[in-house]
Structure 1
Amino acid sequence: MIRHITRALCAASLVIAPLALSSPAQAATNCTVNGVPKSGNVNGTAGSDYIVCSSVDSGNTVNGLGGSDYIAVTGVVNGTVKGGAGSDYVQVNNVSPTGQVLGESEGDFLRAAINLGLVNGGTGFDVCRVSGGNRPLSCEF
Protein backbone atom coordinates (compact mmCIF):
# COMPACT_ATOMS: atom_id res chain seq x y z
CA MET A 1 0.00 0.00 0.00
CA ILE A 2 2.75 2.44 0.96
CA ARG A 3 4.62 1.54 -2.23
CA HIS A 4 1.54 2.46 -4.34
CA ILE A 5 1.13 5.80 -2.56
CA THR A 6 4.82 6.59 -3.05
CA ARG A 7 4.57 5.78 -6.77
CA ALA A 8 1.49 7.99 -7.12
CA LEU A 9 3.19 10.91 -5.38
CA CYS A 10 6.31 10.54 -7.53
CA ALA A 11 4.22 10.43 -10.70
CA ALA A 12 2.26 13.51 -9.62
CA SER A 13 5.47 15.45 -8.94
CA LEU A 14 6.74 14.62 -12.43
CA VAL A 15 3.59 16.17 -13.90
CA ILE A 16 3.37 19.21 -11.62
CA ALA A 17 7.06 20.26 -11.53
CA PRO A 18 7.37 21.03 -15.28
CA LEU A 19 4.14 23.05 -15.13
CA ALA A 20 5.48 25.18 -12.29
CA LEU A 21 8.82 25.70 -14.04
CA SER A 22 7.31 26.61 -17.39
CA SER A 23 4.83 29.23 -16.17
CA PRO A 24 5.33 32.50 -18.07
CA ALA A 25 6.51 35.52 -16.08
CA GLN A 26 3.85 38.16 -15.61
CA ALA A 27 4.13 41.87 -14.86
CA ALA A 28 3.82 42.52 -11.14
CA THR A 29 1.46 45.48 -11.69
CA ASN A 30 -1.83 43.98 -12.86
CA CYS A 31 -4.96 46.11 -12.72
CA THR A 32 -8.38 46.57 -14.21
CA VAL A 33 -9.44 50.04 -15.31
CA ASN A 34 -13.21 50.25 -15.64
CA GLY A 35 -13.22 46.46 -16.07
CA VAL A 36 -10.47 46.35 -18.73
CA PRO A 37 -7.22 44.51 -17.77
CA LYS A 38 -4.05 46.65 -17.81
CA SER A 39 -0.47 46.00 -16.68
CA GLY A 40 2.77 47.92 -16.15
CA ASN A 41 2.20 51.70 -15.93
CA VAL A 42 -1.56 52.12 -15.67
CA ASN A 43 -3.56 55.27 -16.45
CA GLY A 44 -7.20 56.05 -15.93
CA THR A 45 -9.12 58.47 -18.10
CA ALA A 46 -10.00 62.17 -17.91
CA GLY A 47 -13.29 61.13 -16.29
CA SER A 48 -14.10 59.14 -13.15
CA ASP A 49 -12.54 55.67 -13.07
CA TYR A 50 -12.75 52.43 -11.11
CA ILE A 51 -9.21 51.00 -10.85
CA VAL A 52 -8.37 47.81 -8.93
CA CYS A 53 -4.82 46.41 -8.76
CA SER A 54 -3.34 43.31 -7.16
CA SER A 55 -0.08 45.20 -6.47
CA VAL A 56 2.09 48.01 -7.88
CA ASP A 57 5.62 47.03 -8.83
CA SER A 58 8.66 49.21 -8.15
CA GLY A 59 9.12 51.62 -11.05
CA ASN A 60 5.45 51.41 -12.08
CA THR A 61 2.81 54.11 -11.62
CA VAL A 62 -0.96 53.85 -11.35
CA ASN A 63 -2.47 57.25 -12.18
CA GLY A 64 -6.18 58.01 -11.95
CA LEU A 65 -5.73 61.21 -14.00
CA GLY A 66 -8.86 63.46 -13.97
CA GLY A 67 -12.26 62.87 -12.44
CA SER A 68 -13.27 61.41 -9.10
CA ASP A 69 -11.52 58.04 -9.15
CA TYR A 70 -11.77 54.95 -6.98
CA ILE A 71 -8.39 53.19 -6.75
CA ALA A 72 -7.82 50.04 -4.69
CA VAL A 73 -4.61 48.01 -4.33
CA THR A 74 -5.12 44.70 -2.53
CA GLY A 75 -1.40 43.82 -2.26
CA VAL A 76 1.82 45.78 -1.79
CA VAL A 77 2.54 49.21 -3.31
CA ASN A 78 6.25 49.23 -4.22
CA GLY A 79 5.80 51.90 -6.92
CA THR A 80 3.53 54.96 -7.05
CA VAL A 81 -0.24 55.41 -6.89
CA LYS A 82 -1.55 58.86 -7.90
CA GLY A 83 -5.14 59.99 -7.57
CA GLY A 84 -4.64 62.84 -10.04
CA ALA A 85 -6.99 65.79 -10.43
CA GLY A 86 -10.40 65.39 -8.81
CA SER A 87 -11.72 64.10 -5.51
CA ASP A 88 -10.37 60.57 -5.32
CA TYR A 89 -10.81 57.60 -2.99
CA VAL A 90 -7.61 55.57 -2.74
CA GLN A 91 -7.42 52.45 -0.59
CA VAL A 92 -4.24 50.36 -0.32
CA ASN A 93 -3.24 47.42 1.82
CA ASN A 94 0.50 47.90 2.28
CA VAL A 95 2.85 50.73 1.23
CA SER A 96 6.45 49.44 1.18
CA PRO A 97 9.44 51.67 2.04
CA THR A 98 9.82 52.42 -1.70
CA GLY A 99 6.08 52.96 -2.25
CA GLN A 100 4.11 56.20 -2.54
CA VAL A 101 0.41 57.01 -2.44
CA LEU A 102 -0.29 60.56 -3.60
CA GLY A 103 -3.71 62.17 -3.55
CA GLU A 104 -2.50 65.15 -5.60
CA SER A 105 -4.98 67.99 -6.26
CA GLU A 106 -8.42 68.61 -4.75
CA GLY A 107 -9.95 66.82 -1.75
CA ASP A 108 -9.07 63.15 -1.52
CA PHE A 109 -9.69 60.28 0.89
CA LEU A 110 -6.62 58.06 1.32
CA ARG A 111 -6.62 54.86 3.37
CA ALA A 112 -3.61 52.60 4.03
CA ALA A 113 -3.50 49.62 6.36
CA ILE A 114 0.32 49.74 6.67
CA ASN A 115 2.45 52.68 5.52
CA LEU A 116 6.19 52.10 5.51
CA GLY A 117 6.67 54.56 2.61
CA LEU A 118 4.86 57.81 1.82
CA VAL A 119 1.17 58.69 1.94
CA ASN A 120 0.62 62.33 0.93
CA GLY A 121 -2.76 63.98 0.43
CA GLY A 122 -1.39 66.82 -1.72
CA THR A 123 -3.35 70.03 -2.22
CA GLY A 124 -6.97 70.46 -1.18
CA PHE A 125 -8.78 69.23 1.93
CA ASP A 126 -7.68 65.63 2.32
CA VAL A 127 -8.75 62.92 4.75
CA CYS A 128 -6.13 60.25 5.40
CA ARG A 129 -6.35 57.08 7.48
CA VAL A 130 -3.25 55.00 8.17
CA SER A 131 -3.57 52.06 10.57
CA GLY A 132 0.14 51.50 11.15
CA GLY A 133 3.57 52.76 10.17
CA ASN A 134 4.45 56.27 8.98
CA ARG A 135 2.04 59.14 9.49
CA PRO A 136 0.51 60.64 6.36
CA LEU A 137 1.53 64.10 5.12
CA SER A 138 -0.55 67.05 3.86
CA CYS A 139 -3.77 65.68 5.32
CA GLU A 140 -6.17 68.03 7.05
CA PHE A 141 -8.07 65.31 8.85
Structure 2
Amino acid sequence: MIRHAMRTLCAATLVAAPLVLTATPAQALTSCTVNGRPVSGTIVNGTAGSDFISCGALGVGDSVAGLGGSDYIVINGIVAGTVDGGAGGDYISAGAGTTANGRILGGADNDFISVGPNAGTVDGGPGLDFCRVASGNRPVNC
Protein backbone atom coordinates (compact mmCIF):
# COMPACT_ATOMS: atom_id res chain seq x y z
CA MET A 1 0.00 0.00 0.00
CA ILE A 2 2.83 2.42 0.82
CA ARG A 3 4.54 1.62 -2.49
CA HIS A 4 1.31 2.33 -4.37
CA ALA A 5 0.89 5.67 -2.57
CA MET A 6 4.52 6.64 -3.32
CA ARG A 7 4.11 5.78 -7.03
CA THR A 8 0.94 7.83 -7.21
CA LEU A 9 2.65 10.78 -5.49
CA CYS A 10 5.65 10.58 -7.83
CA ALA A 11 3.43 10.37 -10.90
CA ALA A 12 1.41 13.39 -9.74
CA THR A 13 4.61 15.35 -9.19
CA LEU A 14 5.82 14.59 -12.73
CA VAL A 15 2.52 15.79 -14.20
CA ALA A 16 2.26 18.94 -12.04
CA ALA A 17 5.92 20.03 -12.33
CA PRO A 18 5.74 21.15 -16.00
CA LEU A 19 2.69 23.25 -15.18
CA VAL A 20 4.63 25.14 -12.54
CA LEU A 21 7.71 25.61 -14.73
CA THR A 22 5.77 27.06 -17.67
CA ALA A 23 3.97 29.74 -15.68
CA THR A 24 4.91 33.26 -16.85
CA PRO A 25 5.21 36.29 -14.60
CA ALA A 26 2.63 39.06 -14.88
CA GLN A 27 5.38 41.61 -15.63
CA ALA A 28 8.66 40.74 -17.31
CA LEU A 29 11.88 41.69 -15.60
CA THR A 30 14.68 43.13 -17.67
CA SER A 31 18.15 41.93 -16.72
CA CYS A 32 20.85 44.54 -17.41
CA THR A 33 24.19 45.88 -16.33
CA VAL A 34 24.66 49.61 -15.85
CA ASN A 35 28.32 50.62 -15.73
CA GLY A 36 29.22 47.02 -14.86
CA ARG A 37 26.70 46.65 -12.02
CA PRO A 38 23.81 44.16 -12.36
CA VAL A 39 20.37 45.78 -12.39
CA SER A 40 16.97 44.17 -12.94
CA GLY A 41 13.44 45.46 -13.07
CA THR A 42 10.92 46.76 -15.54
CA ILE A 43 12.55 50.23 -15.54
CA VAL A 44 16.33 50.56 -15.85
CA ASN A 45 17.95 54.00 -15.75
CA GLY A 46 21.47 55.19 -16.37
CA THR A 47 22.91 58.28 -14.69
CA ALA A 48 23.17 61.97 -15.58
CA GLY A 49 26.65 61.22 -16.97
CA SER A 50 27.86 58.87 -19.69
CA ASP A 51 26.90 55.22 -19.16
CA PHE A 52 27.46 51.75 -20.58
CA ILE A 53 24.18 49.81 -20.40
CA SER A 54 23.82 46.22 -21.61
CA CYS A 55 20.53 44.30 -21.46
CA GLY A 56 18.86 41.13 -22.67
CA ALA A 57 15.47 41.25 -24.36
CA LEU A 58 12.98 43.96 -23.33
CA GLY A 59 9.37 42.87 -22.85
CA VAL A 60 6.29 45.03 -23.40
CA GLY A 61 6.24 47.65 -20.65
CA ASP A 62 9.99 47.39 -19.95
CA SER A 63 12.09 50.52 -20.46
CA VAL A 64 15.76 51.43 -20.51
CA ALA A 65 16.75 55.11 -20.29
CA GLY A 66 20.27 56.42 -20.62
CA LEU A 67 19.28 59.82 -19.21
CA GLY A 68 22.03 62.46 -19.72
CA GLY A 69 25.53 62.06 -21.11
CA SER A 70 26.82 60.15 -24.10
CA ASP A 71 25.50 56.67 -23.41
CA TYR A 72 26.42 53.34 -25.00
CA ILE A 73 23.35 51.08 -24.89
CA VAL A 74 23.37 47.51 -26.20
CA ILE A 75 20.24 45.35 -26.22
CA ASN A 76 21.14 41.69 -26.81
CA GLY A 77 17.59 40.47 -27.45
CA ILE A 78 14.43 41.67 -29.14
CA VAL A 79 12.97 45.03 -28.07
CA ALA A 80 9.24 44.97 -27.28
CA GLY A 81 9.54 47.82 -24.76
CA THR A 82 11.27 51.22 -24.98
CA VAL A 83 14.92 52.27 -25.18
CA ASP A 84 15.52 56.02 -24.76
CA GLY A 85 19.05 57.38 -25.02
CA GLY A 86 18.04 60.76 -23.55
CA ALA A 87 20.13 63.92 -23.94
CA GLY A 88 23.67 63.49 -25.24
CA GLY A 89 25.26 61.80 -28.25
CA ASP A 90 24.27 58.17 -27.73
CA TYR A 91 25.15 54.85 -29.36
CA ILE A 92 22.23 52.39 -29.31
CA SER A 93 22.41 48.87 -30.75
CA ALA A 94 19.58 46.32 -30.95
CA GLY A 95 20.73 43.65 -33.38
CA ALA A 96 17.74 41.34 -32.78
CA GLY A 97 15.36 44.15 -33.76
CA THR A 98 12.01 45.35 -32.50
CA THR A 99 8.46 44.05 -32.27
CA ALA A 100 5.44 46.19 -33.24
CA ASN A 101 5.43 47.62 -29.68
CA GLY A 102 9.19 48.23 -29.60
CA ARG A 103 10.49 51.79 -29.58
CA ILE A 104 14.08 52.98 -29.84
CA LEU A 105 14.49 56.71 -29.25
CA GLY A 106 17.79 58.52 -29.63
CA GLY A 107 16.72 61.63 -27.73
CA ALA A 108 18.35 65.04 -28.10
CA ASP A 109 21.80 65.52 -29.71
CA ASN A 110 23.69 63.47 -32.30
CA ASP A 111 23.01 59.75 -31.99
CA PHE A 112 24.04 56.53 -33.75
CA ILE A 113 21.36 53.84 -33.78
CA SER A 114 21.75 50.36 -35.28
CA VAL A 115 18.75 48.00 -35.31
CA GLY A 116 18.04 44.60 -36.86
CA PRO A 117 14.55 43.93 -38.26
CA ASN A 118 12.32 46.83 -37.22
CA ALA A 119 8.60 46.21 -36.75
CA GLY A 120 8.29 49.10 -34.29
CA THR A 121 9.63 52.66 -34.12
CA VAL A 122 13.18 53.93 -34.47
CA ASP A 123 13.36 57.70 -33.93
CA GLY A 124 16.68 59.54 -33.82
CA GLY A 125 15.06 62.63 -32.24
CA PRO A 126 16.45 66.15 -32.51
CA GLY A 127 20.05 66.48 -33.68
CA LEU A 128 22.16 65.02 -36.47
CA ASP A 129 21.45 61.31 -36.13
CA PHE A 130 22.59 58.25 -38.07
CA CYS A 131 20.17 55.32 -38.00
CA ARG A 132 20.66 51.94 -39.62
CA VAL A 133 17.75 49.49 -39.78
CA ALA A 134 18.26 46.05 -41.38
CA SER A 135 14.67 45.73 -42.63
CA GLY A 136 11.09 46.69 -41.88
CA ASN A 137 9.89 50.12 -40.80
CA ARG A 138 12.09 53.03 -41.83
CA PRO A 139 13.62 55.15 -39.07
CA VAL A 140 12.49 58.77 -38.60
CA ASN A 141 14.48 61.90 -37.74
CA CYS A 142 17.70 60.38 -39.00
TM range (shorter): 0.7 to 0.9
Correspondence list, 1:22-101, <5 A: 27-38=28-39, 39-92=41-94, 93-101=96-104
Match of residue 139, structure 2, among 122, 136, 140: 136
Q: Which runs of 4+ in 1 moved over 3 A?
A: 17-28
Does structure 1 conserve the Cα–Cα contact (< 8 Å) formed by 2:29 and 2:62? Answer: no
Aligned residue for 1:58, secondary structure, equals coil
Given the two structures, how large is their TM-score scaled by the length of structure 2?
Answer: 0.80
Q: Do 1:28 and 1:55's aligned partners in 2 also have CA atoms closer than 8 Å?
A: no
| TM, length-normalised to structure 1 | 0.80
Alignment of 1:107 onto 2:110: yes
| Cα distance, 1:19 vs structure 2 | 8.4
The two structures, once aligned, show a CA RMSD in angstroms of 2.1
Unaligned runs of 5+ in 1: 1-10
Aligned residues: 126
Q: Where does residue 3 of structure 2 map in the other structure?
A: none
Q: Which runs of 5 or more structure 2 residues have no equivalent in the other structure?
A: 1-9
